[in-house]
Amino acid sequence: MRDVRVSLVGYGIVGHGVVEVLNRKKKVLREMGLDLKLVSVTDHTGTVFSEEGINAEKILGERTLQNVATSSMKGKEAIIAIDSDLVVEVTPTNIVHGQPGLGHMEAALSSGKHVVTSNKGPLVVAYSNLRKLAEDNGVMLKFEATVGGVMPLISLVERTLVGNTIYGIRGIFNGTCNYILTRMAEEGIPYTHALSEAQDLGIAEADPSYDVEGVDTAGKVVILANSLFDMNVKYSDMNVTGITGVTSEALALAKKRGYVIKLIGDVPALTVRPTLVPIGSPIAVAGTLNSAAIYTDISGTITVTGLGAGSIETASAILSDIISIYRTKRIDAIF
Amino acid sequence: MRDVRVSLVGYGIVGHGVVEVLNRKKKVLREMGLDLKLVSVTDHTGTVFSEEGINAEKILGERTLQNVATSSMKGKEAIIAIDSDLVVEVTPTNIVHGQPGLGHMEAALSSGKHVVTSNKGPLVVAYSNLRKLAEDNGVMLKFEATVGGVMPLISLVERTLVGNTIYGIRGIFNGTCNYILTRMAEEGIPYTHALSEAQDLGIAEADPSYDVEGVDTAGKVVILANSLFDMNVKYSDMNVTGITGVTSEALALAKKRGYVIKLIGDVPALTVRPTLVPIGSPIAVAGTLNSAAIYTDISGTITVTGLGAGSIETASAILSDIISIYRTKRIDAIF
């Protein structure tokens, strides 16, 4: 049995999902020989710590840790002080300066802890530094959940398609934009109506600009470019157009010709823009789904689709990364 | 550097693809630390053998090995006699008795050689026996290429989605049927016209019954049911309807209501039948593509699509299986 002590930093929607999934999958993981023990959870109000593993039921009902914290430690302080093997970083993202996640990841990697994250900001801002820090400390940095939600995109490219040359990746990386464009096309309604509907359903934020201006998609393209294509690009290298200028007339015209309009991110083109996609194309998925077509030399084009967001779904991508760390840890010894 | 001696049995379309892909990827694989040496190729006319590795250029121009064979050994005899670590079995499939592939695989596994195959028949007929034989001899049996061509379906479920409970898998597992149904829907032409077109293009066989009656799809469902769902089913447990009864009127009516008709295989339902699928659904892909939706508890629904056939593409799935054997060989020691 492999014992792994996990610290969780960030206790918002995704953090709650992580606690729930680790709890729900405890038995299955033990049957595989992996004993994941959640020893601490930290948010902006403090830390819950338990040497024996935190009882999920005791904290899942709490929106923050304010009433259950066993220590006032926060952020880096908690990460360094607590004896754990792996840090799951899921604090709110900021793709301009990457904080507070960037500092958290640096602290974790520097103290020899693996990092698994759904937090795009630090990777957009400082991928190569974080990567180097992980290598220097002999630990892993895994971030499948930052790109396209539950689509196992990075794992597909790095593991299953490992013998392939990857020419490019194109797809839908933002469920909010996809929902709005899908509704506009289906109902012939204008952008503002579809946005309001998405906001009412909790699919779009009150301030939707991060999604609808293409910022979120562009951040994901930067992460893919740096991690899978070794491109060393910054956000400012991206050419980005969001969906606010797409009209229902354009969508109707496209439909008549057998197309849909989708917000497509493209590596290595480093573009995000509304794009005509043939109906029936594997990336032309509807609703809040994400999709990614991977263009390869010997496997042709492989496309994968999945939910772009969701608390449990994002947590499942995090769990998959955690498992892969302990599954692949000794691969270097073989290859 | 890990040296692996590979024997190839079967030298038809897929066999040629395997020789080409192993040759084309030799350098990349060596950079990964894996030295794959193709020491023998066997077909119904004899065997080419080379201790140092066969020169791909010398045999790729030959349709059979008749003019280049260095030995008259065939089938099981060659498999047992030649010193290799891994056998790639790609002889023509037969899903009634599984021969000659079944005998080849039994011989290879019994002599302690890994088996990687695209040959459905032996797995449909005798999955649990082959599985047991592999376990008893401490070797692996890998068959990603038998199900859905290049879609990395088995690898996705067994590796990336490993923490998930899989509720079911539904999808399009036959590119010929999908091509015919797509053309009928697009052009409003009857089944017989679309079939003729597919035959002219080499997408359908002169005797198309294996594809259009749903036999091929049903065989793949049997393999998925046995390998991923531990169901221990036989071909006769399947409930199968092909596409010969689908009319262009039905397709037109479906389209008007926002649907396409696709030949869908379903595990664990054990059905193959023409099914209404909403346009925009991730599995509603067009042309010769295959698709598979994997229904899970914590990752939601993940869909993967890719080419259903093709010499190089099938060989790429075989290569991926080969790599995974040497990547995952020591996992048991960790878990």
**B227 CA to chain A: closest CA distance, Å?**
18
Residue ranges per domain, chain B? 2-149+311-332, 157-307
Summarize pLDDT for B69-91 with one digit per residue, the tens: 999 999 999 999 999 999 999 99
CA atoms of A236 and B111, how far apart (whole Å): 58
Asked if the model's pLDDT at residue B123 lies above 70, the reply is yes
Q: Is B317 on the interface with A (CB under 8 A)?
A: yes
CA distance A22 to chain B (A): 10
Cβ–Cβ < 8 Å for B171, B264: yes
B66 and A CB contact within 8 Å: no
Measured in angstroms, the CA of A67 and the nearest CA of chain B are apart by 29
Nearest to A282 among B25, B296, B305 (CB): B305
* Residue range A209-217: mean pLDDT, rounded: 97
**What's residue B229's pLDDT?**
95
- Name every chain A residue with its beta carbon within 8 A of the beta carbon of B334: 2, 33, 326-327, 329-330
Catalytic (active-site) positions of B = 220
Would the pLDDT of B335 be above 60? no
Nearest Cα residue to B21 out of A162, A300, A298, A167: A298
Whether the CB-CB separation of B288 and B308 falls below 8 Å is answered with yes
Distances from the Cα of B129 to the Cαs of A79, B123, B138, B251, B325, in angstroms?
50, 9, 14, 42, 20
A289 touches chain B (CB under 8 A): yes
Percent of chain A whose pLDDT exceeds 90: 88
Torsion angle of the four alpha carbons A35, A36, A40, A42, in this order, in degrees rounded to the nearest 10: 180
Q: What is the pLDDT of residue A73?
A: 96
Residues of B with CB below 8 A from A165's CB?
28
How distant is the Cα of B236 from the closest Cα of chain A, in angstroms? Answer: 32
Are B4 and B86 in contact, with CB atoms under 8 Å apart? yes
Is there a contact between B162 and A334 if contact means CB atoms under 8 Å apart? no
Contact of B259 with B277, CB cutoff 8 Å: yes
Q: What is the pLDDT of residues A119-141, one digit of tens each?
A: 999 999 999 999 999 999 999 99
> Contacts of residue A318 in chain B, CB cutoff 8 Å?
none
pLDDT (0 to 100) of residue A280: 82
User: Which residues of chain A does B175 touch, with a Cβ-Cβ cutoff of 8 Å?
Assistant: none
Q: Please provide residue B261's backbone torsions phi and psi, each rounded to the nearest 5 degrees.
A: -105, 125
Question: Is the pLDDT score of B332 beyond 50?
Answer: no
Torsion of CA B271, B162, A27, A18, to 10 degrees: -110
Which of these, B288, B293, B258, lies nearest to B276 by C-alpha position?
Answer: B258
* Cβ atoms within 10 Å of B320's Cβ, excluding its own: 24
Model confidence band, residue B331 (pLDDT cutoffs 50, 70, 90): very low
Question: Residue B328: pLDDT band by 50, 70, 90 thresholds?
Answer: low
Catalytic one of A76, A113, A220, A262: A220
Give me chain A's average pLDDT, please.
93
As a whole number of angstroms, the distance between CA B123 and CA B294 comes to 21
Please list every residue in chain B whose beta carbon sits closer than 8 Å to the beta carbon of residue A296: 316
- Pick the residue from chain B with its C-alpha nearest to A151: B302
Interface residue A313 vs chain B (CB under 8 A): yes
Mean pLDDT of A286-315: 92
| Residues B41, B49: Cα–Cα separation, whole Å | 7
Residue from A25, A305, A311 whose CB has the most chain B CBs within 10 Å, to mutate: A305
Closest CA to B91 of B144, B32, B44: B44
Q: Closest residue of A to B152, CA-based?
A: A160
Closest CA to B147 of B267, B59, B43, B11: B267
Report the DSSP beta bridge partners of residue A46. A43
Range from B71-80, B94-103, B148-157, B243-252 carrying the lowest mean pLDDT: B148-157
Q: Are residues B163 and A320, on separate chains, in Cβ contact within 8 Å?
A: yes
Mind telling me how many Å the CA of B151 is from chain A's nearest CA? 7
For B163-175, how does the pLDDT look when each residue is reduced to its tens digit (9 = 90+)? 899 999 999 999 9
CB contact (8 A) between residue B319 and residue A307: no
Q: pLDDT per residue over B32-41, tens digit each?
A: 889 999 999 9
Q: Which residue in chain B is spatially nearest to A20 when comparing CA positions?
A: B298
Predicted-complex ipTM score: 0.90
B245 at interface of A, judged by CB pairs closer than 8 A: no
User: Is the predicted pLDDT of residue B270 greater than 60, yes or no?
Assistant: yes
H or E, element range at B19: helix B13-24
Q: Which of 21-50 (B) contact A at CB < 8 A?
A: 21, 24-25, 28-29, 32-34
**Average of per-residue pLDDT across B294-304:** 94
Whole-number Å distance between alpha carbons of A72 and B129: 59
Residue of B nearest to A335 (CA): B33
Q: Which CATH number fits domain B2-149+311-332: 3.40.630.30, 3.40.50.720, 3.90.280.10, 3.10.20.520?
A: 3.40.50.720
Give contacts of B300 with chain A, Cβ < 8 Å.
150, 306-307, 310, 313
Chain segment A245-264, per-residue pLDDT in tens? 999 999 999 999 999 999 99
* Residue B159 touches chain A, beta carbons under 8 Å: yes
Angle between helices A191-200 and A175-187 (to 10 degrees): 120
A95-A101-A107-A111 Cα dihedral, nearest 10 degrees: -110
Alpha helical stretches, state H, B111-201: 120-136, 153-155, 175-187, 191-200
**pLDDT tier, A158 (very low <50, low <70, confident <90, very high otherwise):** confident
More confident position, B196 or B1: B196
B334 pLDDT above the threshold of 50: no
Which of A163, A304, A333 lies at the smallest CB-CB distance from B323?
A: A163
Q: What is the mean pLDDT of chain B?
A: 93
A161 touches chain B (CB under 8 A): yes
CA distance B136 to chain A (A): 21
Q: pLDDT per residue over B40-61, tens digit each? A: 999 999 999 999 999 999 999 9
pLDDT in tens, B189-228: 999 999 999 999 999 999 999 999 999 999 999 999 999 9
Residues in A touching B313 (Cβ below 8 Å):
298-300
Strand order in the sheet with A114-117: A46-49, A34-43, A2-9, A86-89, A114-117, A141-142
Give the class (CATH, top level) of A157-307. Answer: alpha beta
Residues of A in contact with B254 (CB under 8 A): none
Taking CA–CA distances from B300, the nearest residue in chain A reads A313
Question: Is the per-residue pLDDT at A149 higher than 80?
Answer: no
**A315:B330 CB<8 A:** no
Q: Give A4→chain B minimum CA distance, Å.
A: 12
Interface membership of B296 toward A (CB under 8 Å): yes
The mean pLDDT of B290-308, rounded to a whole number, is 93
Residue A327: closest C-alpha in chain B: B331
- A64 CB within 8 Å of a chain B CB: no
Residues A97, B318: Cα–Cα separation, whole Å: 44
Query: A127 vs A60, A119, A230, CA distance in Å?
Result: 32, 12, 10
